[in-house]
Amino acid sequence: MARQGNLARRSEADLQMDSRFRGNDGVRGNDGVLRNGESAAVAGRAAAARGLAAPAEGRPLELDRLIHEPVRLRIVSALVVNDALSFNDLKKLLETTDGNLSVHARKLEEAGYVTCNKFFDHRMPKTEYRLTPGGRKALERYIDHLEALIRPVRER
């Protein structure tokens, strides 16, 4: 009974978050990676067996979850038009908190999409972010995937 009460109090956003990362082929982490060790090829074959469309031209079945998250997409978008941005510049531009920005920037850094350079400028610590070539390619793939999803809708 107590468990049902806890579930009843969960917000709609919490329930959507749970379902967003849970599929028939396993549980996905916040980065969208399958936690049961399934490779993209295995996941693609499993999706085809379930009747889902196969990826066109090697395109993955899902958007890049790492970039698709709104704050991370805004970070990458800001860095694609600026050679480099400081932590404070990014924070002001995105209108986000220190903690939120640092967590999302770290995930992008761990994926190799951005580099983080920490240094001192007149005894003041500075943190500077830059988009890597891999991050630029990942953003291009993400945009291509979005365009491929939008194109059939516009053609109707």
Say whether pLDDT at 15 is over 60. Answer: no
pLDDT at 91 over 70: yes
Confidence (pLDDT) at 154: 86
**pLDDT of residue 55 exceeding 70:** no
Q: Establish if 149 belongs to a structural domain.
A: no
Domain identity same for 55 and 74:
no
- Mean of pLDDT values over 59-81: 88
> Would you say residue 25 lies in a domain?
yes
Query: Does 129 fall in a domain?
Result: yes
Handedness of CA 131, 136, 138, 142 (dihedral sign): positive
Query: Which pLDDT belongs to residue 5?
Result: 46
- Give me the pLDDT at residue 112, please: 96
Same domain, 80 and 126: yes
Is 18 within the bounds of a domain? yes
Please check whether residue 150 lies inside any domain of the structure.
no
* Mean pLDDT score of the chain: 75
**Could you tell me if 54 and 70 lie in one domain?**
no
* pLDDT (average), residues 9-30: 44
- For residue 28, the enclosing domain spans 2-61
The mean pLDDT of 76-89, rounded to a whole number, is: 96
Residues 129 and 82 in one domain: yes
Regarding whether 91 and 40 lie in a shared domain, the answer is no
Rounded average pLDDT over 122-135? 96
Whether 25 shows a pLDDT value over 50: the answer reads no
Residue 50 domain-assigned (yes or no): yes
Task: Read off the pLDDT of each residue in 127-155 and give the average, rounded to a whole number.
Answer: 93
CATH, residue 101:
1.10.10.10
Domain count within the chain:
2
143 vs 154, more confident: 143
Has residue 153 been placed in a domain?
Answer: no
Task: Name which residue leads in pLDDT, 2 or 88.
Answer: 88
Please give the average per-residue pLDDT across 32-56, as a whole number: 42
According to the model, what pLDDT value does residue 80 have? Answer: 96
Q: Are residues 74 and 111 in the same domain?
A: yes
State whether 33 and 79 are in the same domain.
no
